[in-house]
Amino acid sequence: MKKTWFSLGQILLTLIVVAIAAVVLWKLVDYYMFAPWTRDGHVRADVIQVAPDVSGLITDVKVIDNQQVKKGDVLFVIDQARYALALRNAQATAQQRRATLDQARREDARNRKLGNLVAREVVEETQSRVEQAAAALADADVAIDTARLNLQRTQIVSPVDGYLNDRAPRVGEYIAAGRAVLSVVDMHSFRVDGYFEETKLHGIDIGQPVDIKVMGEPNILRGHVQSIVAAIEDRDRQQSPSLLPNVNPAFSWVRLAQRIPVRVTLDEIPADFRMIAGRTATVSVRGIGPTIGRRAASETSPASAPAPTSSVSGTSGTSGASQ
């Protein structure tokens, strides 16, 4: 009898162990194959390239590499002497044309007072000279405003609150108008882009809360799904010179799931967290948010919603075996 109960106990224990192993295996399969999470996430931010509107030598640099700046702070100054002379020249030209206009008005007034003693053609000529002088003075005023604007633009200011790149300009460098000299990382634009496999998109909706684990950081960041990209590049189709579809006739039999960018807005950022664009992050979508559910997500799905606002974000290489 004892032997029988012992055998039954062994069978029962074996069944329990098998059941537990099956549940653990299913949880692992569900987590790695179906759960909406990915290790392929990156911290992103808008990077504004600062280019001067005028050319010249840099005479003064107010900042250093990697410095935090505020919107409107002067970054560096371009040689102002040439632009100050241009302003004085424009002002002198305007003064000369103003004198010409005054003289033309006096002649026109004198001819009108003389009445019939002056030929009508002469009166019309003096009136035309007044109009031409007025137009020339207006052009000179525009030249003054342009010269004054150019002089103001010799002081290059930060367009946003943020951080400079690691190569500030140096005194004595000559810079050309329109060529970027440095860049500023917008400190108010930090976000996380998670590149999810297309097989996991069914578990992602707009507004869902997200946990973000940045590599090397002990704290978990909180955020929510802001948008899902509306299109990605089709590598099997290219544009032909005749504007007809040029589809690759061969493809690999092993088809890897495409990576779909999902933008995550950060809700909570710890004060001691070092926010650096480009850092690697693990992004895990938790569940439907309290106020935004699947209905709201379907109303703003990529098929019906406009393409998300473009921003500065680089592409990232992805291993086919990584999550």
Q: The domain that contains 228 carries what CATH number?
A: 2.40.30.170
Calpha distance 109→130 (Å, rounded): 10
Choose one of 153, 186, 215: the last residue of a domain.
153
- State which H helix or E strand residue 94 sits in: helix 81-114
Residues 112 and 41 in one domain: no
pLDDT at position 287 is 66
126-149 core/surface letters (b: 16 or more CB in 10 A; e: else): bbebbeebbebbeebbebbeebbe
Give a yes or no: residue 230 inside a domain.
yes
Per-residue pLDDT tens, the chain, 323 aa: give them: 666 766 777 778 888 888 888 888 876 766 666 678 889 999 999 999 999 999 999 999 999 999 999 999 999 999 999 999 999 999 999 999 999 999 888 888 877 777 776 677 777 788 888 899 999 999 999 999 999 999 999 999 999 999 998 888 999 999 999 999 999 999 999 999 999 988 888 889 999 999 999 998 888 899 999 999 999 888 888 888 888 888 888 877 778 888 999 999 999 888 888 889 999 999 999 865 443 333 333 444 444 344 333 333 333 333 333 44
Contacts of 315 (CB under 8 A, 6+ apart): none
CA-closest candidate to residue 209, choices 282, 297, 287: 287
Give a yes or no: residue 128 inside a domain.
yes
Residues 211 and 125 in one domain: no
Asked if 207 and 224 count as a contact pair (C-beta separation under 8 A), the reply is yes
Residues 46 and 190 in one domain: yes
Give a yes or no: residue 56 inside a domain.
no
Helical H runs in 118-269?
120-152
Give a yes or no: residue 196 inside a domain.
yes
Position 48, amino acid: I
Residues 183 and 275 in one domain: yes
pLDDT at position 1 is 60
Choose one of 153, 185, 200: the last residue of a domain.
153
Contacts of 12 (CB under 8 A, 6+ apart): none
Residues 215 and 140 in one domain: no
pLDDT at position 312 is 33
Residues 102 and 229 in one domain: no
Residues 268 and 308 in one domain: yes
Residues 133 and 180 in one domain: no
Give a yes or no: residue 108 inside a domain.
yes
Residues 187 and 44 in one domain: yes
Q: Tell me the CA end-to-end span of the chain in Å, nearest whole number.
A: 54
The DSSP annotation for 254-320 comes to S-PPPEEEEEEEEEE--TT----TT-EEEEEE----SS--HHHHHHT-TTTSPPPPP---------T
Give a yes or no: residue 126 inside a domain.
yes
Residues 181 and 212 in one domain: yes
pLDDT at position 293 is 38
Give a yes or no: residue 2 inside a domain.
no
Nearest 5°: phi and psi at 289? -70, 165
Asked if 65 and 168 count as a contact pair (C-beta separation under 8 A), the reply is yes
pLDDT at position 3 is 64
Give a yes or no: residue 86 inside a domain.
yes
Residues 85 and 138 in one domain: yes
Q: The domain that contains 138 carries what CATH number?
A: 1.10.287.470
When divided into structural domains, the chain yields a total of: 2
Domain of 289?
37-50+176-249+256-314
Choose one of 122, 153, 184: the last residue of a domain.
153
Asked if 182 and 164 count as a contact pair (C-beta separation under 8 A), the reply is yes
pLDDT at position 14 is 83
- The three-state secondary structure class of 12 is helix
Residues 183 and 297 in one domain: yes
pLDDT at position 29 is 66
The pTM of the full predicted model, rounded to 2 decimals, is 0.69
CA-closest candidate to residue 212, choices 186, 240, 193: 193
Asked if 93 and 143 count as a contact pair (C-beta separation under 8 A), the reply is yes
